[in-house]
Structure 1
Amino acid sequence: MAAQKTVLVVEDSEINRATLSGILSSEYRVLEAGNGREALGLLELHGEGIALILLDIVMPVMDGYTFLSIVKAHPDYASIPVIVTTQSDSEADEVAALSHGATDFVAKPYKAQIILHRAASIISLRETAAMINQFQYDRLTGLYSKEYFYQRVRETLRQNPEKEYDIVCSDIDNFKLINDIFGIPAGDRLLHDIAALYRTVIGDAGICGRLNADQFACLLERRTDYSDEMFVRVSGEVNALANARSIVMKWGIYTVEDRGVPVEQMCDRALLAARSIKGQYGKYFAAYDDQLRGKLLREQAIIDNMESALAQGQFQVYLQPKYRIRDSRLAGAEALVRWAHPEWGLQSPAEFIPLFERNGFITKLDRFVWDRSCSFLRKWDDAGLPSIPVSVNVSRADIYQADIAEILLGTVRKYGLAPARLHLEITESAYTEDPNQIIETAGRLRELGFVIEMDDFGSGYSSLNMLNRLPIDVLKLDMRFIQSETAKPVDQGILRFIMDLARWMELHVVAEGVETREQLERLREIDCDYVQGYYFVRPVPSEEFEKLLREEGTVAEQEPGAKRRRPVFLAADEDTAYRDLVRKTFEDLFQIVEAGTGRAALDCIVANRDKLAAVLLSATLPGSDGFSALEAVKRSRAVWSTPVIVTGPPDALLEEKALELGAEEYVDKPHTAKSLRRQVLRAMGTTASQEWKDSLQEEACRDYQTGLLNRRGFTAAAGALRAEDLPLAVCLFDLDDLKKTNDTFGHVEGDRLIEEFGALLRAHTRENDILSRYGGDEFVVVMRQVRSEEAALKKGGEICLAARKICAPKGAAAACTGGIVFSVSEEPVTELIARADRALYRAKAEGKGKCCLWKG
């Protein structure tokens, strides 16, 4: 039920007030005042909430005319209608009341039906006028709204067929940047002030409206004297406004010749002219002409053909090879779309991609590219080629799709791929448009296992604070940025700073657009990770890229959760028996490499510079002594932060020299294995990079064969579960008859089953699920925030079904059986595993290869 409207009765006579209140109270909420001053007090309390005022003229303290003058001069109250009530019904009194701003005039004594009808009519008229006003005028600027501007232009053109007109539209360069830096309120004030300036400049000579955020339009009578000087003058007046900060405005002019063109298109064409000079210094206006018309016709032809082109397979996915800079080996690819039109030939993406981004077709095209890229990966895997990732573009339009994560996840699962095989490129400029939305979406995709790349880094204006918030794994340096930076002297560019920043943020860096040997060497010098560009290979069709895979060999990037490459520990000592002691002491944590001479130690350092965790270095190495190797380590940018522990006889001078050259520790010989381990790990704990500290911790918690958590890691992960992770599903899987497989086909085949089942679990679960090899042939999966028992059982059944494809070596009957427990309350995970174990054995009793839900 709608709330009653409020009417204010201003009357000094108590009897008259009571009469009016009695008439009106059946339809309205009535407020009463005995004079004008009391009435002003009520207006201050209720403001525009008052729908109508009935006002007596002759009153003490403040009469009706004085009250009317004050109300109509007040911007908050001026629109409230006023009915004047008086004993006199003379024409002079009525004119006097109306001239002071009254809406209507009624004489006493009051007639109930007349009062009610007039009140209802006037209130309705006011509301209708307010709605019309709201439709006609833009609330922020007071100019005509877009729709009403279009209507007024149509009326003007129809009513004045003999006159010639121009549509002039303006656009502010990088207005969003103004909002980002100075805040939305400051941006709104600027737009309000620009609109006021337009009203002053145009006056009665034209019609002005606001089309969009920072876009204004005017209809003016035709003129032929447009010049940069004219618009420079207007631009100067804009920048003289209080809220302006070096505003750059562009104007576009459309000459109205064909009045059959919709007004909306006229404005679009004027804006197209304005956009055509964006970024051009010294250009302030442009006119829509045949060249722009040709561009518009070309864009329309592209739009008319795009759907059929996709259906007919005219779009093709090319692959831009990506190389690891350290050894120039193939490490991945970027998927790029090309359009092979049967009549137009091969079209440049620069022509159709921006158009598709504007009209929304880019979402369909992107999904096509994602699907084709995954099909390539599946084909290469089936052919036994190395597993590499492919980077695909995720456009701004994709980000705002509510089901983007489900679509991408469904695409990789369709081809049986881990999400990390698909790297998702999001442009730097996209992060600046709606950072919170992008951060939320990219964060969710990253949690699912996708690798997130910031594309075109260096082409926009991301702040360091925003960069620190972004959930990204890779920075891709913009081609133009690379070309300009590598042309500068080493000490004048900022590439090294960016590399140091990326290292601090633990990001990989890919440089795009590498075209010369000099650019490559500069990037190699600052330890950039990957490069792509014409210096190596142009983008090629998938068949040609497959040939590169077969011919050149690859370096596959590490996938999250996959078996990790162990960090390398160099034992450089002239004594073979001592090196054996070192190996036994540290082989549970590191991959041990050995060197018996200083020269061999230097070679090992160079060969393992990207994975070297620590160096144990004898001060008395023959050939080139240990101190020479120590100096080389501390001099090389690639390994200078690697901790070096020097060993030698008890000698104060040797110890002092080692520490002066940068050694982290000097260990006297002889010593015990326990003492050596403690001193080395202590030195690494204070000096090793965070990467290696994390790696050591990770190794201690991982099953080396599968890359999943071991029981220690599982216990730690399960202990971190919280109430927000509920409901939980704990799934216990057992590889049936693994012992029989080992006995019949050998442990190599059994190990294959274990490793492939670990990979299967990663492919069929989410990034935030906990995966563990709990025992020899037992695996545990903890799934967070599972919707229902049915969903948990369905997922368990899916894993058991998929396991049959890998659990059949040479005709063996082995399979996977699962037990699941669903929990909605915080309980010890050990108890949940015990219940899942009971469900597992019930499943085995019913027949191996099934999945059973624990029901109590």
Structure 2
Amino acid sequence: MRSKKNILVVEDNAINRMMLCEILTPEYTVLEAENGQEALLVLQECKEEISLILLDIIMPVMDGHTFLSIIEKNPSYASIPVIVATQSDSETDEIAALSSGATEFVTKPYNPQAILRRVASIIRLRETAAIINQFQFDRLTGLYSKEFFYQRVRETLEQTPDQEYDIVCSDIENFKLVNDIFGTPAGDRLLCSVADMYTGLVGEEGICGRLHADQFACLMKHREDYRDEFFIQAGAQISKTGSMRSIVMKWGIYAVEDRLLPVEQMCDRALLAARKIKGQYGKYYSKYDDDLRNQMLHEQAITDVMENALAEEQFIVYLQPKYSIITERLAGAEALVRWEHPKWGFQSPAAFIPLFERNGFITNLDQYVWEKTCAILQKWDSIGYPPIPVSVNVSRADIYQVDLADVLLKMVSRYGLAPSRLHLEITESAYTEDPDQIISTVRHLRELGFIIEMDDFGSGYSSLNMLNQLPLDILKLDMKFIQSETAKPMDQGILGFIMGLARWMDLRVVAEGVETREQLERLKEIGCDYVQGYYFARPMPSEEFESLLKRQDSTKEETEAEASSLGSTSLSGYILVAEEDDAYRNQICSLLRNRFKIIEAVTGKEALGFIVRYERELSGVVLSLTLPELSGFSVLEILQREKAVWNIPVVATAPPDPRTEDQAVEMGADDFAYKPCSAKIIERRLINAMERSLSYESRQTLHEDACRDYLTGLLNRRGLNAAVRIMKKEDAPMAVFLFDIDNLKQVNETLGHSLGDRLLKKFGDLLHARTRSNDILARFGGDEFLVIMRQMGSEETALKKGEEICGGFQNAALTDQLPISCTCGAVIWNNDVPLDNIISQADKALYQAKLNGKGGCSVRHQSGLPDSSNDRQNGSRD
């Protein structure tokens, strides 16, 4: 049922007021006031709810004329229609009432039918006018709406054929940031200030309207003398009235020549002129000219053929190599797109990418590039090339696709690729558009296993707080930023700060646009990870890129053959020689330099700094335990504690002292040498330590995406096998644990796979937290995990550790809707039995633990004898 409209009756005579209420009440809700003063109080409370006022003229306290004069001056009341009622029917009284702002005039005594007809008619007229007004005017600024602005301009041009006009449009640079940083109310105030400026700019003869968001337009008489000062002054006025500094506006001017051109296109041309100078400091306005016209024609031609071009595969994927800055070896690539048009020839991305971003076709092109890139990676894998990753661009339009994650996941699955082989580059400026939406989407992609790169870092406006919230793996520095910063002295640039920030956030850094050796050396000094640019290679077709892969493969084989002939494990990576005695250090370095790349340190702090900077490239360390500033023992402790460097082989040196040697070995040194001793002995001990330990190449293998479970980050079956192959014999005896997440199938079916995935990831995190950095952790199956704990030969210790992990998981469960726990079976392994046999015995121990009650742990002898005396278990739950 529709609610009744409200009518305010202002009448001092109680009988007349009662009569009006009886006439109106069946159709309307009536509010009453005895005089103008009371009526004003009612208006203050209910002004937006009153549809009409019936007003007596002769009243005490405040008469009708005074009341009319007050509400006419108040914009909040002025639009409410007023019917004046009086006993006089003289023309003079009627004119006086209408002059005071009344809408209609009626005389007493009241004719009920006449009153009702007039009230209904006036209310209907008012509502119709409100609808028309809403259509004609922008609700926020009061300027003409876009459609009505177009209409008024057409009418004006038709009515004044001899007058020359200009369409002037404006656009506020980075207006989205105003709303993001200062809030929407501040943005609205700024837009109202722009509207006020336009109204003053055109005066009574011009026409202004709001086209969209922060885009405004006006029609004004043509002038030839536009100057920067004219627009600077307009911008200053906006900044002042909008209470906001440094507002930058770009203006575009289209001189109306072809009056048959739709007004929409006239405005488009003016906005195109404004867009031409966007981002250019000191440029305030631009005029539409033939160059811009030709650009529009060219863009239209591109739009006409873009779909056919995609269907005919005229777009070609080019690859730009990425190199490790330390080894200067190929480490990956970025997929770029080029257009080979059959008639126009080779088209630069600058000619079509911005247009596709504006018209939305970029989504189709991006998916085409992703598909082609996956096909290229699949081809490389089938040939046997190293499984390097390739990054692809993800545009703003792609991010707002609801099914983006599904599209990408199905694509990599179709080509048999791990998600981490496809790095997703998202430009920095995209994160400022709708941070919450984008962060949510990108976080989901990262959880699925994709590697996320922030492209063009240093060109946008991301705050440190926003950067801290973003789900990122890699920062990619903007080309212009690199070129400007590497030209500055070391102590004046901010590149070092950015590298430190990236290290603190555990991010890798890629620098693009590297063109000179000087830039490369500067980036190497401050610890950049990867580079790309013309110094190494230009973008190239995938066939040419394959030749780089072949060359790197052959170079790798030659290097390994040479290393073998020299009796060395590998020549790749660096050897850190940390020794405070200059002569002794030089002696060691001179010998090792024939086979290795050397880093020298003379203090403990300096050694630690090099370890942090070159953690991915270090193959071994010669460490003096008597270093100044920070002792060698402190450095050794950090080396063994940090997962990233725990397995770097270390040869410790110190003056003869058995206790020092014992302490060094206990703290994790791989070997020990008394000093001074010959450099030859140091070399031999270092090579032996490297042969016993994980070589640099083997360690890298364990970090390859193909060896990792994308959900938990633990090793998968392939990674587990690789880790076991290079495991040291000296690690025996070991404890092998097989964990099973109880009720996971029921969780997936009842509460959804999302919660199931979270449980798996949480258990992976728990294993990381409850194990040592040199233990082997793997996701063995859907809900099974395998853990190999080194140097653990006690069944009691293994049982305690298994119970600790099971109890920790049960206490950290994510839901109370189903019982969540994990059960464990363990076996002590002496490394002389195949791992498959040990896993089979661990599975039997797991079965026994489940019989005793889920959530417990059972330990089985390696011999696997069937009698119960060979099993230790705890059947109770923690």
TM-score range, shorter chain: 0.7 to 0.9
Partner residue in 1 for 2:154? 154
User: What letter matches 2:606 in structure 1?
Assistant: R
2:371 equivalent to 1:371? yes
1:221 Cα offset (Å): 2.2
- Offset, 1:171: 2.2
Shift of the alpha carbon at 1:661? 9.4
**2:405–2:444 contact (8 Å) kept in structure 1:** yes
Distance verdict in 2 for CA 1:830–1:706, change over 3 Å: farther
Segment of structure 1 superposing worse, 197-206 or 231-240 = 231-240
Cα pair distance change 1:52/1:731, threshold 3 Å: closer
Deviation of 1:493 after TM superposition, in Å, equals 1.3
Kindly provide the amino acid, as one letter, of the partner of residue 751 in structure 2: L
The superposition leaves residues 672-706 of structure 1 with CA deviations (integer Å, 9 ceiling, x where unpaired) of 9899657999xxxxxxxxx99xx9xx999956855
SS in 2 for 1:8: strand
Number of matched residues?
693
Q: Which residue of the partner structure matches residue 329 of structure 1? A: 329
Looking at structure 2, the residues matched to 729 and 425 of structure 1 have their Cα atoms a distance apart, in angstroms, of 25
Mapping 1:806-825, distance limit 5 Å: none
CA gap 1:534/1:828 in 2 versus in 1, 3 angstroms: farther
Q: Is the 8 A contact 2:476 2:510 kept in 1?
A: yes
Q: Distance in 2 between matches of 1:229 and 1:102?
A: 47
Q: For 2:76, what is the secondary structure of its paired residue? A: coil
Aligned to 1:199: 199
Report the secondary structure of 1:250's partner residue.
strand
Equivalents in 2 of 1:678, 1:504: separation in Å? 26
Change (3 A) 1:12 1:411: same
Q: Cα deviation per residue 1:337-381 (whole Å; 9 max; x = unaligned)? A: 000001111100011000000000000000000000011111111
The SS at the match of 2:330 is strand
**1:592 maps to which residue?**
none
Residue matched to 2:447: 447
Distance 1:170 1:701 in 2: 50
Q: 1:152 to 1:645 in 2, by over 3 A?
A: same
Residue 88 of structure 2 is aligned to residue 63 of structure 1: no
Q: Secondary structure at the match of 1:144?
A: coil
Secondary structure class of the residue paired with 2:472? coil
Query: Counterparts in 2 of 1:332-371, with a 5 A limit?
Result: 332-371=332-371
Q: CA deviation at 1:162?
A: 2.6
Instruction: Compare 457-466 and 393-402 and name the one that shifted more.
Output: 457-466
Question: Mean Cα displacement is larger for which, 248-257 or 401-410?
Answer: 248-257
Over 3 Å counting, the alpha-carbon distance change for 1:445 and 1:532 in structure 2 is same
1:226 aligns with 2:226: yes
Change (3 A) 1:833 1:168: farther
Aligned letter for 2:611?
V
Task: State the identity as a percent.
Answer: 59
Report what 1:546 is aligned to.
546
Q: Does the CA contact (< 8 Å) of 1:644 and 1:663 recur in 2?
A: no
Displacement after TM superposition at 1:445 (Å): 0.8
Relative to structure 1, the CA distance from residue 53 to residue 531 in structure 2 (aligned partners, 3 Å threshold; closer, same or farther) is: same
- 1:428 positional shift: 0.7
- Whether the aligned pair in 2 keeps the contact of 1:209 and 1:217 (CA below 8 Å) is yes
Question: Matches of residues 742-781 of structure 1 in structure 2 within 5 Å?
Answer: 772-773=785-786
Query: Which amino acid in structure 2 is aligned with residue 258 of structure 1?
Result: D
Residues 655 and 277 of structure 1: is their aligned pair in 2 closer, same or farther, counting only changes over 3 Å?
A: closer
Supply the distance in 2 between the matched residues of 1:41 and 1:141 (Cα, whole angstroms): 29
Judge conservation of contact 2:604–2:627 (CA < 8 Å) in 1.
no
The answer on 1:382 being equivalent to 2:395 is no
Report deviation, 1:528.
Answer: 0.9
Match of 2:174 in 1: 174
The corresponding residue for 2:53 is 53
Query: Which stretch of the first structure deviates more once superposed, 484-493 or 360-369?
Result: 484-493
**1:201, distance to aligned residue in structure 2 (A):** 2.7
> Which of 590, 593, 606 is 1:635 aligned to?
606
Paired with 1:262 and 1:828, the residues of 2 have a C-alpha distance of 81
Letter of the aligned partner of 2:161 in structure 1? Answer: P
- 8 A Cα contact 1:252 1:287, kept in partner: yes
What's the offset of the Cα at 1:284?
2.6
Q: Name the CA shift for 1:83/1:491 in 2 (closer, same or farther; >3 Å).
A: same
Q: Which amino acid in structure 2 is aligned with residue 139 of structure 1?
A: R
Letter of the 2:445 partner, please give it. L
1:141, 1:265 → 2: CA distance?
23
Q: How does 1:249-288 map to 2 (within 5 A)?
A: 249-288=249-288
Q: Residue 747 of structure 2 contacts residue 753 of structure 2 at CA under 8 Å; is this kept in 1?
A: no
2:751 maps to which of 721, 726, 733: 726
- Structure 2 CA distance, aligned partners of 1:638 and 1:660? 14
Change (3 A) 1:658 1:319: closer
Distance 1:647 1:198 in 2: 75
Alpha-carbon distance in 1 for matches of 2:391, 2:242: 47
For the 8 Å contact 2:208–2:216, the answer to whether it is kept is yes
Contact 2:737 2:787 in 1 (8 A): no
* Aligned counterparts of 2:748 and 2:545: Cα–Cα separation in 1: 48
CA shift for structure 1 position 547: 2.1
**1:395 corresponds to:** 395
Deviation (angstroms), 1:320: 0.7
Partner secondary structure for residue 523 of structure 1 = helix
Answer whether contact 1:329 1:555 (CA < 8 A) is retained.
no
Q: What is the alpha-carbon distance in structure 1 between the residues aligned to residue 851 and residue 45 of structure 2?
A: 60
Task: Measure, in 1, the Cα distance between the counterparts of 2:627 and 2:95.
Answer: 109
In 2, Cα distance between equivalents of 1:555 and 1:117: 97
Structure 1's 170 and 366: CA in aligned 2 closer, same or farther, altered over 3 A?
Answer: same
- Whether the aligned pair in 1 keeps the contact of 2:167 and 2:219 (CA below 8 Å) is yes
Q: For residue 22 of structure 1, what is the aligned residue in structure 2? A: 22
- Indicate the SS of the match to 1:639: helix
Aligned equivalent of 1:135: 135
C-alpha displacement at 1:770, in angstroms?
6.2
Write the distance in 2 (CA, Å) between the matches of 1:235 and 1:280.
16
- Deviation (angstroms), 1:712: 6.3
Judged with a 3 Å threshold, the aligned counterparts in structure 2 of structure 1 residues 661 and 489 are, in CA distance, closer, same or farther, namely: farther
8 Å Cα contact 2:636-2:667 kept in structure 1: no
CA deviation vs aligned residue, 1:696-750 (integer Å, no higher than 9, x gap): xx9999568555899969579999x999993469999xxxxxxxxxxxxxxxxxx
- Offset of residue 638 of structure 1: 2.3
* Distance in 2 of aligned mates of 1:447 and 1:359: 31
Cα RMSD of the aligned pairs, angstroms, is: 4.7
The whole-number CA distance in structure 2 between the counterparts of 1:658 and 1:830 is 51
* In 2: Cα distance, 1:93 partner to 1:541 partner: 89
Partner of 1:586: none
Deviations 1:11-30 (A, max 9, x none): 22222222211221111111
Q: Distance in 2 between matches of 1:258 and 1:553?
A: 64
Q: Distance in 2 between matches of 1:268 and 1:828?
A: 75
Q: Give secondary structure in 2 for the equivalent of 1:506.
A: coil
Aligned-partner Cα distance in 1 for 2:754–2:305: 49
Structure 2 residue runs without a partner (length 5+): 557-567, 590-598, 638-651, 671-698, 722-734, 758-775, 789-805, 816-849, 858-878
Tell me the SS of whatever aligns to 1:553. Answer: helix
> C-alpha separation between the residues in 2 aligned to 1:484 and 1:828?
68
SS in 1 for 2:424: strand
Rounded Cα–Cα distance in structure 2 between residues aligned with 1:56 and 1:121: 20
Tell me, in whole angstroms, the C-alpha distance in 2 between the residues paired with 1:291 and 1:409.
44
1:360-509 correspondence runs (5 A): 360-509=360-509
Q: Distance in 2 between matches of 1:725 and 1:828?
A: 24
Cα distance between partner residues in 1 of 2:148 and 2:490: 58
Structure 1: which 5+ runs fail to align?
A: 557-599, 649-653, 682-690, 733-754, 762-768, 787-826, 835-856
Q: How many angstroms does 1:297 deviate by? A: 0.8
Instruction: For 1:280 and 1:647, locate their aligned partners in 2 and report how far apart those are by CA, in whole Å.
Output: 56
C-alpha offsets along residues 92-144 of structure 1, whole Å, 9 cap, x if unaligned? Answer: 22112111211111122222222222111111111111111111111222111
Q: Give the residue type in structure 1 aligned to 2:610.
A: A
- 1:607 — aligned with what? 574
Structure 2 residue aligned with 1:659: 631
What CA distance in whole angstroms lies between the structure 2 residues aligned with 1:71 and 1:296? 52
Cα displacement string for residues 618-672 of structure 1 (whole angstroms, at most 9, x for unaligned residues): xx999759xx987366434421699999898xxxxx6999839965679974499
Q: What residue identity is the alignment partner of 2:79?
A: S
Deviation at 1:59, TM superposition (A): 2.2
Contact 2:58–2:64 (CA<8 Å) still a contact in 1? yes
Q: How far 1:608 moved relative to its partner? A: 6.0
Listed as ranges, the matches of 1:676-691 within 5 Å are 677=666
Moved more, 451-460 or 107-116: 107-116
